[in-house]
Amino acid sequence: MRQIRQVRWLRANGRAGLPVTALLALSLGAGGAVVAQARPAVASGVLPGPVTPAARMTEPVTPKTAHLRITEGQVGEVGPGGTIRYPAVTSCLTVTVRLQDGGKVGAHASLFQVPGEYRSDRILAAVKQRIGARGVREVEVRGAVGAWDPSYFTRAIESYAAGEPVPVPTGPDPEGLARAVADGLGEPQGKVTVEDLPDGDQTVD
């Protein structure tokens, strides 16, 4: 199997973990089994995700806070002037949708699913539901661009059966990621920008 050339260290609970390639190999070696999930309650303006293939309706929009922390696999929203903080963006990608009214909808897409949260092939649909009929000004994708194959937004790593080949990126594909995000949100690709950022926290004002 091809290896991801750019090795990035994952963090779990604030500690350095295995590199992306090692975790991918472990995941595939385990047969691509999906971890059993629990469904947490909505809190702090963050919308937790489903773990079943069937689509669901978004819960009622929670109050928009001035400052919001969105962790792996979560989707949240802040009103005009609000700030979104994405902690520990190592192997992840963040998707921030800037709305015409000045608000922001954010998603912290995880390469490997976090129990009880959205996996990579469901998170864009959750963002689109959250946006609703509101106008989108621009979409910013930031994070570990080199660790992501664009197809992870339509088919998560966990969805592959044992022995089934999983696409592994051989290098950054910002154009492919922009196209996948645009398609997932139903927005023109010209509204989407992609930036490879060093590991760490991200703050979007």
Give the model confidence (pLDDT) of 125-177 as tens digits.
999 999 999 999 999 999 999 999 999 999 999 999 999 999 999 999 999 99
Given a cut of 50, whether residue 194 has pLDDT beyond it is yes
Find out whether 45 and 68 touch, Cβ atoms under 8 Å.
yes
When the pLDDT of each residue in the chain is averaged and rounded to a whole number, the result is: 79
Q: Report how far residue 36's alpha carbon sits from residue 166's, in angstroms, rounded to the nearest whole number.
A: 21
Given a cut of 80, whether residue 183 has pLDDT beyond it is yes
Please compute the mean of the pLDDT values over residues 62-78 and round it to a whole number. Answer: 86
Confidence of residue 199 (pLDDT cuts 50, 70, 90): confident
Burial class (CB in 10 A: 0-12, 13-18, 19+), 133: exposed
pLDDT in tens, 1-49: 433 333 333 333 344 444 444 444 434 444 443 333 333 333 345 555 5
For residue 170, the number of C-alpha atoms closer than 13 Å in the C-beta half-sphere is 2
Query: Going along 49-172, which residue ranges are E strands?
Result: 65-69, 75-89, 93-99, 104-109, 136-143
Q: Report how far residue 136's alpha carbon sits from residue 81's, in angstroms, rounded to the nearest whole number.
A: 16
pTM of the prediction?
0.72
